[in-house]
């Protein structure tokens, strides 16, 4: 981190700005300044996951990989997944040790981008079953520490419905879907049977970014998670709202990673196009926004989460680490920033708030 990047705003300044429209004007574009500029520790910081009498922090955005999964991806050319330098390593012992060290009570495991569909429907369905069975086994071995979002072999919708039924019946608490599957976005009418199935089970759906169609030209040779992931999340979630999926299926609990990607700074613009230009949408964007859940993966402080909260409130913000794809030092720095951030309205600290929100999100009823 450069000297200029470390000269971030102080906690007092953030406290003054928090909850005001001024925050949104800088929004997530400044989030690349990183999380390590949190200023002096807040007296209400909570280093313990159970501080404040809460139930403990839950990580809703915790990835795993297996040797078989990586081999399957490599076999079709994913040597540098989404332009990242290399595949990460994962094992259950390190997962649990890291959770202990960070005072994380529970993690919800999932497979990240590039997902499980590499062009062949039958192989995708088989790979989804394989990774989901592995996650189910880990959850059964550690039921108080782990849950699981199942992978689906989209864009094969019929197979995705079958696998969703199978995995949710086996104990998965929800599913992870890529922001697009071979260019098919989440508002596509072809996905309606899947949304109906997931809604009937009140499933949680983590919408995870992946490379968009045409990334070969738009990424300009850089890792797609840096920019393309944020734009594709935004595109896909707006499509969910405008197409009416969330209006038709209010039971769905959609989680948007990375502090809502670029939604905090674009939501007013999206609303302007709805109202001022007449772009058809199933419901007002502000209403859609209030249905969504958000996680803190990436660079949540000092800018992104306050910007998100100014647009969407704090009631549906939960913690996400983006392990094992995020370096340990970066995860630790983000947690430090979360613990040192000015407290949200109505809670003593962000850990307490995120833990309480996660209890609501993960309720099985």
323 binding Zn ion? (CB under 5 A): no
Distance of closest approach, residue 359 Cβ to Zn ion, in angstroms: 22
Task: Select 112 or 151, whichever has its Cβ closest to Zn ion.
Answer: 112
Q: How many residues bind Zn ion (CB under 5 A)?
A: 2
Torsion on CA atoms 257, 263, 265, 269, rounded to nearest 10: 180
CB of 325 to Zn ion, least distance (A): 6
Reading the block at residue 323, the tokens are 């392990």
Query: Segment contacting Zn ion (CB under 5 A): 225-233, 268-276, 285-293, 318-326?
Result: 318-326
**Residue choice 36, 37, 44, 112 for contact with Zn ion (CB under 5 A):** 112
Which region, judged by CB under 5 A, interacts with Zn ion, from 86-94, 218-226, 246-254, 319-327? 319-327
Bridge partners, residue 107, by sequence: 59, 146
Phi, psi (degrees; rounded to nearest 5) at 221: 85, 5
Stretch that binds Zn ion, among 3-11, 39-47, 106-114, 193-201 (CB under 5 A): 106-114
147 vs 322, which CB is nearer to Zn ion?
322
Q: Is 322 in the site for Zn ion (CB under 5 A)?
A: yes
CB of 268 to Zn ion, least distance (A): 27
Cα→Cα distances 38→95, 273, 300, Å: 26, 35, 11
Instruction: State which of positions 239-258 bind Zn ion (CB under 5 A).
Output: none
Which is nearer to Zn ion, 149 or 242 (by Cβ)?
149
Nearest approach, Cβ of residue 121 and Zn ion (Å)? 24
In terms of DSSP bridges, do strands 317-318 and 293-295 run parallel, antiparallel, or are they unpaired? parallel
Q: How far apart are CA 165 and CA 363, in angstroms?
A: 19
Are 55 and 356 in contact, with CB atoms under 8 Å apart? yes
- 164 and 150 Cβ atoms separated by less than 8 Å: yes
Give the residue among 167, 88, 110, 183 at the shortest CA–CA distance from 133: 167
Site string for Zn ion, 266-305 (x = CB under 5 A): ----------------------------------------
Q: Please count the CA atoms within 13 angstroms of the CA of 117 that sit on its side-chain side.
A: 22
Q: Which residue stretch of 18-26, 112-120, 163-171, 330-338 sits at the interface with Zn ion (rule: CB under 5 A)?
A: 112-120
CB of 113 to Zn ion, least distance (A): 7
Instruction: List, as one string, the DSSP characters of 299-338.
Output: -IIIIIHHHHHHHH-STTEE----BTTS-HHHHHHHHHHH
Least separation, in Å, of the C-beta of 349 and Zn ion? Answer: 24
CB closer to Zn ion out of 61 and 348? 61
Q: Which residues bind Zn ion (CB under 5 A)?
A: 112, 322
């Amino acid at each position: 981190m450069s000297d200029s990047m470390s000269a971030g705003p102080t906690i007092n300044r953030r406290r003054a700005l928090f909850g005001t429209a001024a925050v949104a004007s800088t929004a997530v574009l400044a989030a690349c300044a990183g999380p390590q500029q949190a200023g002096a520790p807040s007296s209400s910081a909570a280093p313990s996951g159970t501080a404040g009498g809460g139930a403990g922090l839950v990580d809703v955005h915790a990835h795993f990989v297996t040797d078989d999964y990586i081999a399957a991806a490599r076999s079709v050319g994913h040597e540098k997944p989404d332009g990242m330098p290399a595949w990460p390593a994962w094992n259950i012992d390190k997962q649990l040790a890291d959770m202990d060290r960070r005072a994380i009570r529970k993690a919800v495991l999932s497979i990240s981008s590039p997902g499980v569909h590499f062009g062949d429907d039958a192989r995708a369905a088989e790979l989804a079953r394989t990774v989901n069975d592995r996650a189910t086994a880990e959850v059964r071995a550690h039921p108080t520490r782990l849950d699981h979002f199942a992978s689906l072999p989209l864009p094969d919708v019929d197979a995705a419905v079958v696998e969703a039924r199978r995995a949710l019946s086996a104990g998965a608490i929800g599913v992870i879907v890529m922001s697009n599957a071979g260019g098919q976005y989440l508002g596509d009418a072809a996905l309606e049977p899947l949304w109906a199935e997931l809604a009937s089970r009140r499933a949680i759906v983590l919408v995870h970014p992946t490379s968009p169609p045409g990334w070969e030209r738009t990424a300009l040779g850089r890792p797609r998670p840096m920019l393309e992931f944020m734009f594709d999340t935004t595109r896909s979630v707006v499509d969910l709202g405008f197409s009416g999926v969330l209006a038709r299926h209010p039971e769905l609990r959609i989680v948007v990673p990375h502090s809502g990607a670029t939604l905090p700074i674009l939501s007013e613009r999206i609303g302007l196009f709805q109202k001022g230009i007449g772009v058809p949408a199933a419901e007002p964007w502000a209403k859609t926004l209030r249905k969504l859940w958000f996680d803190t993966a990436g660079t949540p402080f000092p800018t992104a989460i306050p910007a998100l909260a100014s647009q969407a409130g704090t009631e549906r913000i939960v913690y996400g680490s983006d392990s094992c794809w995020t370096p340990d030092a970066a995860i630790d720095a983000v947690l430090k920033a979360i613990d040192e951030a000015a407290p949200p309205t109505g809670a003593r600290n962000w850990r307490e708030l995120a833990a309480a929100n996660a209890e609501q999100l993960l309720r099985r009823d």
